[in-house]
Structure 1
Amino acid sequence: MNTNTIMHGDMPGDKVEINDSHRTKAARILPVLLEKLEPIRAATPHGRAVVCVCGGSGVGKSEIASLLGQALQDGGLGCYVLSGDNYPHRIPAQNDAERLRVFRCGALKGLVGSGLYTEEVKNELLDLQRQDVDCDPAQTAGRPWLEVYQREGRKALAGYLGSDKEQDFAQLSDIISRFKNGAGSIYLKRMGRTPLDLWYDRVDFSDKKVLIIEWTHGNSDGFSGVDLPILLNSTPQETLEHRRSRNRDGGVDHPFTTMVLEIEQRLLESAAHKAAIIVAKNGDLLTYGQYRELMARG
């Protein structure tokens, strides 16, 4: 399969770098996916089904979604791969800033509520914020108040990440509903890296029977209509390494990035029970029980 012509997600500028590991996983997923798709499509008036490929970015969901989509297309099932990264409310730089704002506002509110906020603490914290290290666990040594600050900030951030405050789940639910109800074409959002990189393209779905959504939050309860969630298992460290290789926005080694990845990992784990197919890093297909055992071993 020529990786220059293979279909891929519709996020502007996104890269798909397919390797043998991705091909192995896709080859193991495909027969199970085809078997599960048949009764779902047969039960719908337009013979359409929605699949999501979710997981941390280090596990290759973009690449595997591309391979699965191309295999379905080549097998006669028209397919479209949609990138969920087009559907946050804010472009990446603005969303990163909002994440930090949510963290710091929640952290400060919690610190004040704890009774540990003083003029001395205020001045020291402002200095840590200017250095952009206020979320670094290494800075808590000798600063018990900073532990409270970071704990409360983390709780606030966990309430934002992957929620409808961050992601436009309603728009995705509407797209899925239109697709399943037989829409011949749908306007789909495109979001790039700057405020001007925002537009909609009209996409022809007249010959499409499967919609694949590749997205970290593809198995979320925030939106509806996904028939077959596929979870690609990963760890925050694997995700971090993949972000380093892409390095689209810089700062991948920052403690705040690590915090975000850890929270997203917990979101993935909390929704794993809904996955129709779970794939281990080595390509093995797992039951949910096997997945829980694997995660418990760390």
Structure 2
Amino acid sequence: MVDDRLAAAGRGLGQFTLATLGLVSPFLPFALGIFPRALAPLPHPSARLINAGWFLETYLLVLLVICVVVILATGAADVRNNWMVVWFPLPLYLLLRIKVLTDAGGAKRRLNWFAGALLIVALAVPAGLVGRGFVGPETCRKCNFFVPYSELARSLVVAGFSAGTIVAVDRPNQIAGNLRRYFPHARVISTRWRDYMPPLNAAGQAGEGGKCALIWSGGPSGGGEGRMLVEELRGGIPVPKQTIFRRTTHSLPRNPEKRLSWSFVVLDGEGTCR
């Protein structure tokens, strides 16, 4: 048991390191590559900068210790880069040291190189997004950016849904939030974010109208998590066994050979699924 936890913690520490580097890159390698002396002892900064530096150093060291201790204590093996946003003061700390270094007359010319490198990265991001839009449909794995959500919404409308509650199984694609665009007055619930349960709208609270729609990725035999949630919302009334689940299949834009399928059903409103 202890060995398993240590092995998991080892994987977690590895992911923690990669996630941290991923979050502060490419700023970190640029900063250290262009200003290698920024991490060396600095010449006589002002008291204001010294205090700011001490504060940031303390924050970063305490954060590092807390993260390592938590990973070791819990055996967390999955550490994701989007959790590492707490490292945002690290670039500020490096900029502070770079300022002290350049104010003292060291490597001032390199500021132009540094600014140029950051500008290139800033311009490369939108260019990369445009490129992703062109090649993404042929290379994507989950294809979240290219799912034909408008076609999914049209399928629900054809099946009789116009208002009420939509329960979406948000794996592998996050369907719920994207369908919300096409049904602005509907109540949309995601099985992935069960901690948030949006309230019924005024019509639903009054017990008027409204359908109960369930949609998931894959064939009619799936959607178990969504079915259980629908049953719960319908006051314990299960989805009838004789229910016919519809299936809709659509190809990705600019890649007709890659097709994705979803199954769905539109039920009469019951309980709080209306």
Same fold (TM over 0.5): no
Q: Which has the higher contact order (CA 8 A, sep 6+)?
A: 1
Give the TM-score, by structure 1 length: 0.21
Give the TM-score, by structure 2 length: 0.22
